[in-house]
Structure 1
Amino acid sequence: MPGFISADATIREHFEERTGRFRISVTIANERTGPLFGYRGWFELEFFEAERLKVRPGLRPKREHHPKA
């Protein structure tokens, strides 16, 4: 893709122990024009039992997290 229409993404994320949230920031920038857009936010993780929800095996993650009960 020609440089004048291409862009680079910078993504940073970390887990915040104090709040139990994942924080993320994304910046999309063009080498010549600078930042085009970005996003900053957070999310919380929640696990669901795929078998209990009757999710077909082909649609499940390759690795499933099994929290200790």
Structure 2
Amino acid sequence: MQSLKDILVDKDNQWQPLVDKKGKAIDGQATFRMRHFMGDEGKVFDLIVQRSVVTGQVELDLET
């Protein structure tokens, strides 16, 4: 299992380009798939996070 910080830091470069219906990568869009769980029973499911490039946005350094 991974944490939200793992997604943000992404040391393993697991972000993948978001593709359109024709299989072509959409510029400035990416997705990250991870196994996640919630609840006392710990039901596991796939969590897919999507990100977009935002003009003027700066990178957040979480390593310090």
TM class, shorter-length: 0.3 to 0.5
Scaled by the length of structure 2, the TM-score of the pair is 0.36
Which is bigger in relative contact order (C-alpha 8 A, separation at least 6)? 2
Rg larger in 1 or in 2? 1
- TM-score, normalised to structure 1, is 0.35
